[in-house]
Amino acid sequence: MRRHLAAFLLATSLFATACGSGGNEAAAPGQPDKVTVGVIPILDVAPIYLGLEKGFFDERDIDLELAQAEGGAAIVPAVVSEQYQFGFSNVVSLLLAQSEGLPVKVVSNGNNSTGVDGEDFAGLMVKGDSPIRTAKDLEGRTVAANTLSNIVDTSVRASVRKAGGDPSKVEFVALPFPEQPAALAGGQVDAVFVVEPFQQAVLAEGGRRIASSYVDAADDLTVAAYFTSQQLLSENPDLVLRFTEAMQESLSYADSHPDEARAVIGTYTKIAPEVIEKVTLPKWPAEVNRDSLQTMADLAVEDGLIEAAPDLDALLP
């Protein structure tokens, strides 16, 4: 745990040194504020692309640029160092950052689990002929996670506990989502936890779902959120407010217009149109589910990921 957090902090420090401050200069009178948001090219961020397309940010004098990154490990330090004004990250990464004193502040919800077992946008999967029937059977087995010591293994451990197993007996191995279906089919791992569209890839290979771990972890789980730095919040609270309002409108619109959300996914990902039609979309409520974050914080403490539950009042809006 200490090595993981130390590396996280070192990356932030190096990024800040390389990029310096800046990027938060006030717009010229009568000009919109230029805002860069770090995102990941996955289904989860469809609302912000849809909001950009619909003009929700333009209406609030925000000239929005979306910068694609590999994941939160790059986005968090970019926001802290002020290269990006806002970023998108899963909630466990943000809980980790806040617990270590990094100046991050959630400003808007990102996406939620569907809350429906067996019908979520992410799942714990095994091969069709695997002897593993439930998450309890993962004791002594290997599970692929895209990133270790984060939201995936925290959620999978919740599934193991729920099934009556001992999560400490499960071995996690790091493997990017795109590589997981083939690794499962080839027997390199016993199970994978994948999000869409990779869930569809596993199902197409005859795999099956043994648990919906986001559903098991917490009711109506807030999986990810948009955040900013405490410095931007203190220097330009009006911009943060306008961004939050635009983001909430974008989330509400995407949640009530799933066909348009599916359509926009094809504009920023390489997912084939026929696959986009099949994927299970996440939910996009406008508000963060605080209770679910408290549950994830408690699970992170129980799993030894962090030593004490972080201050949610300091992290959340």
Is there a single domain that holds both residue 165 and residue 225?
no
What pLDDT sits at residue 308?
87
What pLDDT sits at residue 10?
41
Burial class (CB in 10 A: 0-12, 13-18, 19+), 234: exposed
Q: What is the identity of the amino acid at 5?
A: L
Summarised one tens digit per residue, pLDDT across range 77-136 is 999 999 999 999 999 999 999 999 999 999 999 999 999 999 999 999 999 999 999 999
Length of the chain: 317
Is there a single domain that holds both residue 204 and residue 235?
no
Which of residues 167, 187, 217 is at a domain's end?
Answer: 217
Which of residues 187, 217, 247 is at a domain's end?
Answer: 217
Is there a single domain that holds both residue 93 and residue 241?
yes
Burial class (CB in 10 A: 0-12, 13-18, 19+), 308: exposed
Number of domains present in the structure of the chain: 2
Report how far apart, in Å, the C-alpha atoms of 8 and of each of 79, 91, 94, 181 are: 14, 15, 11, 28
Q: How far apart are CA 296 and CA 95, in angstroms?
A: 9
Is there a single domain that holds both residue 8 and residue 106?
yes
Quick one: which of 116, 115, 94 has its CA closest to 106?
A: 94
DSSP state of 168: G
Is there a single domain that holds both residue 207 and residue 276?
no
CA 43 to centroid of chain Cα atoms: 10
Q: Each residue's pLDDT tens digit in the chain (317 positions)?
A: 444 444 444 444 434 333 434 445 556 667 899 999 999 999 999 999 999 999 999 999 999 999 999 777 789 999 999 999 999 999 999 999 999 999 999 999 999 999 999 999 999 999 999 999 999 999 999 999 998 999 999 999 999 999 999 999 999 999 999 999 999 999 999 999 999 999 999 999 999 999 999 999 999 999 999 999 999 999 999 999 999 999 999 999 999 999 999 999 999 999 999 999 999 999 999 999 999 999 999 999 999 999 988 899 999 98
Is there a single domain that holds both residue 229 and residue 212?
no
Edge-to-edge, what's the strand order for the sheet holding 62-68? 62-68, 33-39, 86-90, 222-229, 104-112
Summarised one tens digit per residue, pLDDT across range 285-304 is 999 999 999 999 999 999 99
Helix (H) or strand (E) holding 254: helix 237-256
| Cis omega (within 30 of 0) for bond into 285 | no
Is there a single domain that holds both residue 75 and residue 52?
yes
What pLDDT sits at residue 53?
98
**The pTM is what?**
0.89
Is there a single domain that holds both residue 208 and residue 234?
no
Is there a single domain that holds both residue 90 and residue 156?
no
Q: How far apart are CA 178 and CA 70, in angstroms?
A: 12
Contacts of 313 (CB under 8 A, 6+ apart): none
Is there a single domain that holds both residue 261 and residue 287?
yes
Q: Which CATH number belongs to the domain containing residue 152 in this structure?
A: 3.40.190.10
Helix, coil or strand: residue 219: coil
In this structure, are residues 109 and 316 in contact, taking their beta carbons and an 8 Å threshold?
Answer: no
Is there a single domain that holds both residue 146 and residue 98?
no
Is there a single domain that holds both residue 7 and residue 108?
yes
CB atoms near residue 111 (< 10 Å): 26
Q: How far apart are CA 208 and CA 156, in angstroms?
A: 16
Q: How far apart are CA 197 and CA 229, in angstroms?
A: 31
Q: Residue 207's domain spans which residues? A: 122-217
Which of residues 201, 217, 233 is at a domain's end?
Answer: 217
